[in-house]
A = this chain, B = another copy of it.
Amino acid sequence: MTIWYGGDYNPEQWPRAIWDDDMRLMNRAGISLATVGVFSWARLEPRPGEYDFGWLDELLDLLHANGVRVDLATATASPPPWLAREHPETLPVTEDGVRLSVGSRQQYCPSSPVYRDRARELVRRVVDRYADHPAIELWHVNNEYGCHVSHCYCDVSAEAFRGWLRAKYGQIDELNRVWGTAFWSQRYDSFDEVSPPRAAPTFRNPTQLLDFDRFSNDELLACYRAEVEVIRARSPIPITTNFMGFFKAVDYWAWAREVDIVSDDTYPDPADPESPAYAAMVRDLMRSLGGGAPWLLMEQAPSAVNWRRRNAVKSPGQMRAWSYQSVARGADGILFFQWRQSVAGSEKFHSGLVPHSGTDTRLWREVEQLGQELAALSARTGDAAITGTRVPSTVAITLDWDSWWAIEQPASPADVSYVRTLFAWHRALTSLGLAVDFVRSDADLSGYRLVVAPAHFAASDAQVANLASFAETGTLVVGFGTAITDENLHVRLGGYLGEPLRSALGVWIEEFAPPAAPDLQNLGIGTPPPLALAGEAFGGAATGTVWAEFLRVEDAEILATFTEGALGGWPVVTRRATGAGAGWYVATLPEPDALRRLAERVALEAGIDLPAPAATGEQVETVRRGGSLFVINHGEEDAELVVEGTDALTGAPAAGMRLAPQGVAIIYPTSGTSG
């Protein structure tokens, strides 16, 4: 099986003569898959109802003739300017009432029936024309749904939101109950009185906000489904749409059920030393969304992006190393945005596989090298196979978009970042060499030995029960911020957490006490000092940040306490052993070193074997996929391998191999078969 290699290909930005050069270079680089047509609507339908497919016919034939498979976009990601002129009501509106204009991209209201009709009609034309084209490998629906416009506050959206609420609540009194409108005189007498959470004098109704997040996700998903329906009716070829890693506005659990293969766009910042760890988490999410199945890295940058304030280049080897990180964590395709760096437009300074400066460049040489390597790896089969294989894991972290939306609402005890909280746990666990999945908190958890549920703020009864039930046979770690409310943002009274989770953990929360800094007269706020902690959970002293609470223990061991101030002596880490399992509770966010020590302690108690290090060196990432062990050196010093086996990239024996910075080895047992 092939590890796809390629990227977005937008030849409509270039003269025809360049296309032949593209084919030549694609072959040199071993390009096997090109994403075509993502932003071609205005070219395909230059005026309403008038279509021009000639150039695309020619392009697909050319790619096919050159052995490049096509991920064909439905081209609906950005409507042409004529749509805004004919139907200004399709333009999206901000919560302040600003109607956004043409001239960038994605300027449509997701609820607009006019937009949806036009998009569907375009898809019908595209699919009718190309469903049987031999080059098509994959359908690419739209692009990065919600990237710029995830929530629209226009009148059309308002009407759609009311319809969504009617369908959800049936009676207005049920909405009033769930939204808690007895508070602040917000009671609605009819659905007609409800609007999106537009700019208001002060904090808006939390459940209204949450429902609007859900509605907005549903509306985007409805756009996606409308296109998929057209495709499925005509073509059996698999369908995807490109996700964007941890993207707050879109609940990818719901979407992942409806794509045939998960694909992802991820742009870690080369200037940030945390990027390899953060990107690892993103890869694990993509694998998890597909239930462990291989996924596609649909977009990454060959080198710099263009949209940060200052855009760092990838250092030599970094593009390759990060590509292998994706493969190691389950990707069966390494694609880029974009093939040829643009000559004009807002992304002209986004790097391309063919840079402005041409092919006598380090970047291009790395592109060719990686293409050759991936082709060779694709050929491996049996125990040595990489494509199609899985990344086994016994550890999971819960992830729920509802809780993300909820915990980051204003008017909360403290400004908790949901993703930073998950990242802290993910990094601690992966630094131990463990493979980590993400799961919904209401998923079947029985395949795991250890489940961490951090900041799972808005937990339904079913979720609470599911977690508590897991603690009977596995090791459950509940982090602060969990099950504070139900799914309607109604507080779980009587100590939070809710039954049966509260009993499973043997603790309840008397009062939240997040660290804070002076905020007199709203003149600004500083960063509060870290909280002092100590106890066997950390093997000694430690520090915490972000959160604290007065925790009451009913039936649990105290494994660490706060040690200073009003919190001094109060528990911070507890553990309640059950028959075969255990329920841990952690009432703060330990700083990285402390969290790693805690994670190690928890993993050992969960009966998980911690793998021996594969190499010396501090920043070496190790991941087992199928029969292969991927070792990637993200550090600035050489690392030395200490495992046995053979490196699939070089054929050399592993033990004693030195990995330079950005170096990669793919070790398989020496008995493995090279295909």
Contact = CB atoms under 8 A, between A and B. Distances in A.
Interface of A: 10, 12-13, 39-43, 46-47, 75, 77-82, 84-85, 92, 94, 96-107, 147-149, 179-190, 192-195, 197-208, 268-275, 278, 303-304, 306-313, 315-316, 341-349, 351, 355-358, 361-363, 410-415, 417, 419-420, 485, 488-491, 493-496, 508-521, 523, 525, 528, 550, 565-566
B411 A566 contact: no
Contact of A12 (B182, B311, B491): B182
B510 A345 contact: no
A98 B97 contact: yes
A271 to B, nearest CB: 4
Contacts of A102: 186, 193, 195, 200
A99 B97 CA distance: 8
8 contacts: A104-B203, A105-B185, A107-B200, A180-B344, A183-B346, A270-B516, A312-B513, A316-B566
A485 B341 CA distance: 14
Nearest to A99: B97
Nearest to A566: B315
Contact of A183 (B13, B199, B521): B13
Contacts of A315: 565-566
A629 to B, nearest CB: 28
Copies in the complex: 3
B180 A343 contact: yes
A105 B202 contact: yes
Contact of A491 (B304, B316, B356): B356
Contacts of A192: 85
A134 B204 CA distance: 37
Contact of A274 (B13, B358, B518): B518
A102 B189 CA distance: 13
A101 B200 contact: yes
A513 B313 contact: yes
A47 B356 contact: no
Given A342-B183, A358-B494, A493-B356, A311 B413 contact: yes
Nearest to A636: B565
A84 B514 CA distance: 38
Contacts of A149: 201
A563 to B, nearest CB: 16
A189 B47 contact: yes
A186 B485 CA distance: 45
Contact of A490 (B194, B343, B520): B343
A281 to B, nearest CB: 11
Contacts of A268: 520
A246 to B, nearest CB: 8
Contact of A519 (B148, B269, B316): B269
B346 A82 contact: no
Contacts of A181: 42
A10 B342 CA distance: 55
A516 B100 contact: no
A102 B105 CA distance: 31
A157 B199 CA distance: 19
A420 B522 CA distance: 12
B104 A201 contact: yes
Given A107-B201, A181-B42, A520 B100 contact: no
A346 B204 contact: yes
Contacts of A489: 344, 348
A260 B439 CA distance: 60
A342 B183 CA distance: 8
A357 B509 contact: yes
A78 B310 contact: no
Contacts of A361: 510-511
A204 B104 contact: yes
Contacts of A46: 187, 189
A206 B344 contact: yes
A456 to B, nearest CB: 17
A391 to B, nearest CB: 24
B520 A206 contact: no
Nearest to A48: B189
A223 B516 CA distance: 38
Given A207-B344, A268-B520, A271-B519, 4 more contacts: A42-B187, A147-B202, A270-B516, A272-B519
A420 B97 CA distance: 36
A306 B411 contact: yes
Contact of A105 (B92, B201, B411, B514): B201
A357 B304 contact: no
Nearest to A196: B101
A532 to B, nearest CB: 16
A77 to B, nearest CB: 7
A488 B510 CA distance: 55
A495 B565 CA distance: 53
A493 B490 CA distance: 59
Contacts of A351: 511
Most buried by B among A201, A274, A419, A520: A201
Contacts of A105: 184-186, 201-202
B185 A40 contact: yes
A103 B181 CA distance: 9
Given A200-B104, A201-B105, A206-B345, A278 B411 contact: no
A210 to B, nearest CB: 11
User: What are the 9 A-B residue pairs with the smallest beta carbon separation, nearest first?
Assistant: A180-B344, A183-B345, A148-B201, A272-B518, A42-B187, A101-B198, A312-B516, A271-B516, A203-B346
Given A193-B84, A201-B105, A308-B516, A511 B79 contact: no
Nearest to A245: B521
Nearest to A515: B310
Contact of A272 (B271, B273, B491, B520): B520
A273 to B, nearest CB: 7
B201 A106 contact: yes
Nearest to A549: B313
A272 B522 CA distance: 11
Nearest to A188: B81
Contacts of A179: 344
